[in-house]
């Protein structure tokens, strides 16, 4: 019987792994540990491998996987920047990802957080905790219907966000994407530049990939173009935003608030339990402490639908490589 090792397994993954293994008549051995130099020998004897790796593999690890006869690594995330694809090619390993596991989950979260910011949720919550139940101008809000939303990047996730705002809330939606989508253009007004898109928007929501071209796409220059009092939402990747420039824009009153689901230095922290450790990250502590920021730990995707799709698509990709020598989800 085919034997697959699946690593970095979380409690919520188990039921979907068991169901898939039964349906496909495959032995799947699971562990909560990520793949490391120390435990790599435990992979020997397996036919296939699925990881949810956050830290890079060393060349020795790629080499050992090849020695064990492993042909592929099925990563359970959309991002695969933890892998060195040149090394994967050198050691004849097919790396696959799960490019689209639930765009709606992330889109719904981005919309929710944008609305929480517009409706002053942080302030209202603090007042309620202090038993201050007054209505007063500091928490007076606006109807989302009356606002203009700029969606930056209208791919899988951004297009759903644009549709929710345009068709659900009846907001005026503009967008910027170097590759406009003709279906999205039916309910969104594409602008010619990022600057133009953010200039009149009350909400700016970011949905572009983290590439070397997009590093610090949102910097001091772009924040200076924002409409005064706008809300900024980043449910994409931390490296797209210069956090210090964002804080400076908030301090200068250029922006009213930000909802951040990602942070440029989150690796090793999101997700993890740091309650009994010193945080040693002043920038992150500042984001946590501020009333005008809602920070969440890269959790936009975290729904039952997404968890199931990540498991099923990764294990299917593993089996595809074992049965056919390739998978449609390969990234190298």
Site residues (vs ligand NAD, CB under 6 A): 78-79, 106, 152-158, 176-179, 194, 207-210, 214, 217, 235-237, 261-262, 298, 300-301
265 within 8 A of 305, measured Cβ to Cβ: no
* 127 vs 215 by CB, closer to ligand NAD: 215
* 117 vs 157 by CB, closer to ligand NAD: 157
CB of 324 to ligand NAD, least distance (A): 26
* 65 vs 194 by CB, closer to ligand NAD: 194
CB of 297 to ligand NAD, least distance (A): 10
CB of 109 to ligand NAD, least distance (A): 7
Q: What is the DSSP string of 63-94?
A: HHHHHTT--EEEESSS--TTS-HHHHHHTT-E
Bridge partners of 176, per DSSP, are 152
Q: d(Cα 254, Cα 251) in Å, to the nearest integer?
A: 8
The helix/strand/coil state of 256 is strand
48 within 8 A of 2, measured Cβ to Cβ: yes
Q: d(Cα 287, Cα 294) in Å, to the nearest integer?
A: 8
5 within 8 A of 29, measured Cβ to Cβ: yes
CB of 101 to ligand NAD, least distance (A): 8
* 124 vs 312 by CB, closer to ligand NAD: 312
Q: Nearest-CB residue to ligand NAD?
A: 155
Question: What is residue 43's DSSP assignment?
Answer: G
Active-site amino acid positions: 237, 266, 298
* 194 vs 321 by CB, closer to ligand NAD: 194
* HEC-encoded secondary structure of 48-59: EEEECCCCCCCH
CB of 100 to ligand NAD, least distance (A): 6
Question: What number of other Cβ atoms are within 10 A of residue 171's Cβ?
Answer: 19
Q: Which of 96, 94, 31, 85 is nearest to 57 (CA)?
A: 85
35 within 8 A of 53, measured Cβ to Cβ: yes
């Amino acid at each position: 019987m085919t034997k697959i090792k699946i690593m970095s397994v979380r409690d919520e993954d188990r039921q979907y792994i068991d169901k898939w293994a039964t349906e496909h008549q495959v032995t799947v051995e699971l562990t909560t540990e990520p793949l490391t130099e120390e435990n790599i020998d435990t992979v020997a004897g397996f036919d296939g491998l699925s990881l949810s790796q956050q830290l890079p593999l060393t060349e020795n690890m790629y080499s050992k996987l090849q020695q064990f006869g492993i042909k592929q690594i099925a990563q359970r995330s959309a991002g695969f920047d933890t892998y060195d694809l040149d090394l994967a090619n050198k050691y004849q390993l097919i790396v696959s990802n799960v490019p689209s596991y639930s765009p709606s989950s992330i889109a719904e979260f981005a919309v929710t957080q944008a609305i929480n910011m517009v409706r002053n949720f942080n302030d209202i919550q603090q007042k309620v905790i202090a038993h201050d139940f007054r209505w007063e101008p500091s928490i007076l809000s606006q109807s989302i219907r009356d606002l203009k939303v700029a969606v930056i990047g209208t791919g899988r996730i951004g297009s759903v966000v644009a549709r929710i705002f345009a068709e659900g809330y009846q907001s005026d939606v503009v967008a910027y994407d170097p590759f406009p989508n003709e279906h999205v253009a039916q309910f969104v007004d594409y602008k010619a530049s990022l600057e133009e898109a953010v200039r009149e928007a009350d909400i700016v929501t970011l949905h572009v990939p983290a590439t070397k071209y997009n590093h610090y796409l949102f910097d001091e220059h772009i924040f200076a173009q924002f409409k005064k009092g706008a809300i900024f939402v980043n449910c994409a990747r931390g490296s797209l935003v210069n956090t210090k420039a964002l804080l400076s824009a908030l301090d200068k009153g250029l922006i009213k608030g930000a909802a951040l689901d990602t942070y440029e230095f989150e690796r090793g922290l999101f997700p993890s339990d740091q309650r009994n450790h010193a945080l040693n990250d002043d920038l992150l502590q500042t984001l946590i402490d501020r009333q005008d920021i809602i920070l969440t730990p890269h959790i936009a995707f975290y729904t039952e639908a997404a968890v199931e799709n990540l498991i099923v698509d990764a294990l299917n990709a593993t089996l595809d490589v074992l049965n056919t020598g390739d998978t449609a989800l390969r990234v190298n």
